Chains A and B, each alone.
Chain A
Amino acid sequence: EIVMTQSPATLSVSPGERANLFCRASQSVSNNLAWYQQIPGQAPRLLIYGASTRATGVPARFSGSGSGTELTLAISSLQSEDFAVYYCQQYDTWPWTFGLGTKVEIK
């Protein structure tokens, strides 16, 4: 199965700053990648699919890029509600697999 490796494990960022989260796949996933946000105590929320398409209602400060084995989620100006754990998921090859997540915390 495809292994998804996310980095860094934890990212400390000040409100208003930019955050870049990385997801590396053990083999190409093309652009068949999704990003999710999870706030403690809540279910994951879909942010991005198709590597770069924002889901309904997702603010424009979230953007996805990349394809193949190196993909990125950028948050342009962190708001208080963005401090959470972010997961990537590939759906190119069965079984679909998730990364272990990046925790974005307040610096």
Chain B
Amino acid sequence: QVQLQQSGPRLVKPSQTLSLTCAISGDSVSANTVTWSWFRQSPLRGLEWLGGTYYRSKWNNDYALSVKSRITINPDTTNNQFSLQLNSVTPEDTAVYYCARAKGGYFAYWGQGTLVTVSS
């Protein structure tokens, strides 16, 4: 059974970097048939896919255009996890953030969600 456990700060100051980690159990971040993604959800934006990382002979990343200039998603093969970094945050980045696994294009496994508030 795949489980995803999120961790990271719940309060970030404006202009700083939001950082979250998603620890994987029951699967490998290096599996070559899945994609590991980050989402966020807010009343303003609904459910928004932010980006993902996946291994297909080499590591690949895809990012949503809305955050492409500010986002980095990195795999961590040593600890079997992946991370999200979102730079230069503003209050509009306040949301519940989720990590999730896609296989075949749909997301059967999700993290528990982390409410991140951007405020001074």
Q: What is the bound-complex CA distance between A43 and B105, given in angstroms?
A: 18
Please name 11 further chain A to chain B contacts, defined as beta carbons within 8 Å, in addition to the given A36-B107, A91-B102, A101-B46, sorted by A numbering: A34-B105, A42-B113, A43-B100, A43-B111, A44-B107, A46-B106, A55-B108, A89-B107, A95-B49, A95-B62, A96-B49
Residue of A nearest to B106 (CB): A34
List 6 A-B residue pairs with CB atoms under 8 Å apart, sorted by A's residue number: A42-B113, A43-B113, A44-B107, A95-B62, A98-B46, A98-B48
User: What number of A-B contacts does a CB cutoff of 8 Å give?
Assistant: 48
Q: What is the bound-complex CA distance between A41 and B76, given in angstroms?
A: 28
For chain B, the count of residues having a C-beta within 8 Å of the partner chain is 18
A95–B107 CB distance below 8 A: no
A101–B47 CB distance below 8 A: yes
Chain B positions near chain A (C-beta within 8 angstroms)? 46-49, 62, 64, 98, 100, 102, 104-108, 110-113
Q: What is the bound-complex CA distance between A32 and B106, given in angstroms?
A: 9
Residue of B nearest to A97 (CB): B49
Is the C-beta of A19 less than 8 angstroms from some C-beta in chain B? no
* Chain A interface SS verdict (over half): loop
- Within the complex, the shortest CB–CB distance from A85 to chain B, in Å, comes to 9
Q: What is the bound-complex CA distance between A91 and B104, given in angstroms?
A: 8
